[in-house]
A and B are shown apart, each in its own frame.
Chain A
Amino acid sequence: MRKALVIQEDIIILKILERLVMLNHYECRAIRSINDLNIEDQSANFDIIISDILFDGIAPLDFVFQIQEIILHQSLIIVTNMGQKNIQREVLASDKVNGFFAIPLDMDNIKKLIA
């Protein structure tokens, strides 16, 4: 089974994304903060990570680079409240980011990416 990691501080968005991912046949680990990551997540090799970029103690762009280095994964999708154009441009400048969605968002667009 494919594996997904969802990191969102807003529990409502987290739960909705978790359900969406699970219904698309993923085994999902859903957490609210990067503090909840553990050592096993580093070697889990996720097929997909859906994450926010706004967390305590780390700048948004630093977070994107760090998670790409620390957690093994195939693709990374950003879902965030911080949807300013310049942030989007800078995040998408990294080749490994497959999608950037600013809240409010249409979940169908994420569904197309993870199907």
Chain B
Amino acid sequence: MEAIILKIIIKSLLVIMLIVYGSIAFTMLYRKWRKKHLNLIEDTFANVTSMYLYPNPNEEPDLIKIQRTFRNLGIVPSKPRNVQYLIDLMIRTQRSILGENYTKLKTLFTQIPPYGASANKLNSRKWYIKARGIREIYEMNQNQYTRDLIKLRNDSNIYVRREAQIGLVIFLGWKSLRLLPYLKRQMTLWQQIKIVEKLKDLYPEPDLAYLRKAYESDKPYAIGLIMRIIRKFNLQEDVHYIIQFLDNQKFDIRECALYCISSFSLNNDQLGEIKEKFYNISNVEQKLQLLKYIQKISYEIDLPFYKNLLYNGNDIIKLSVADILWNNGYKEEVQEYYYQQYAMQNDGEKVPV
């Protein structure tokens, strides 16, 4: 009986072993075939692209032939992995080429399969497919889908709306800021930075008319984004926008305003304005930051302002003010305060100085 059971176990193990070996062999062969096939697609794509960009003299590119070639290679809607591979090749190529050839490639890619494969992804219910579709659209500069991207700018998924907003910035440039007051969902700091960088890379000439239209927005992320844009493009004439938020109720907006104002120099009126706002800031750290900034951009020491802080401010502020005064030749004022403070500590008893 035991021998029979043993035989069955051995046979079962042999079968399992054969299945494992079989699947390994199949995987290896499939991988080899697949790699060969992908290389063939890449070779064909390279030939097509190079012949399209630099055709023989007096020879027009035969688009029907190109379409047929790709179809024969399996670039058909029923084989999405092949289609995706070709899209990746297209994106890679467009990233590598500039100038007149870039425009030619853009035209070519609209005329060969996969037609609208990226646009079709926008209808997918899965967020990652949707986001990928948007990315492909803007990477390949297919601006005919701008309207579709506008619809997705408020998508509930953060990655989808992030890609859609970046796509809009790429296609519409400064005009895309018009949409800022209509955004309904949170925009992360990373997203704000990406938008600012894209604007700087692709549209280095600021269009203030569109930027100023966005000033109406009262959303914290929109305010943050506008302040970052003003800083990045060094828009001195719009610095008043940043100044108004220096004493905002919200900590993050104040933080952003302090960061953005730090790269500007101000005139006397503006300097006076921020000194007034200084008193409205509740956070000591932020007050210190603003104090350092005021000192950095001031041509001369505003003694009444500093003395007021020295006598009425918070201890940390007082120390910082004393430091500023001491290093700028106002030692006597600091000493006077010091002894006066010493006198106060003795319960009002006058101590001879």
Interface set of A (CB-CB < 8 Å, partner B): 10-16, 18-20, 22-23, 103-108
Contacts and interface: CB of A to CB of B under 8 A. Distances in A.
Interface string B85-122: 00001001101111111000000000000000000000
Contacts of A103: 96
Interface stretch (B48-56, B66-74, B302-310): B48-56
Contact of B93 (A12, A19, A23, A108): A12
A12 B98 contact: no
Nearest to B101: A107
24 contacts: A10-B96, A11-B42, A11-B46, A12-B45, A12-B46, A12-B49, A12-B50, A12-B89, A14-B46, A15-B46, A15-B49, A16-B50, A19-B50, A19-B53, A19-B54, A20-B54, A106-B97, A106-B98, A106-B99, A107-B53, A107-B97, A107-B99, A107-B101, A108-B100
Nearest to A79: B96
A12 B45 CA distance: 8
B138 to A, nearest CB: 16
B35 to A, nearest CB: 14
Contacts of B98: 104-106
A16 B105 CA distance: 12
Nearest to B94: A104
Q: Please provide the 7 A-B residue pairs with the shortest distance between their CB atoms, ordered closest to farther.
A: A106-B99, A19-B54, A15-B50, A15-B46, A19-B50, A106-B98, A12-B46
A106 B50 CA distance: 14
B238 interface: no
A108 B99 contact: yes
A11 to B, nearest CB: 5
Nearest to A111: B54
B152 to A, nearest CB: 28
Interface in B10-64: 42-43, 45-47, 49-51, 53-54, 56-57
A106 B96 contact: no
B47 A15 contact: yes
A100 B94 CA distance: 20
Contacts of B53: 16, 19-20, 107
- Among B54, B57, B97, chain A packs the most CB atoms within 10 A around the CB of B54
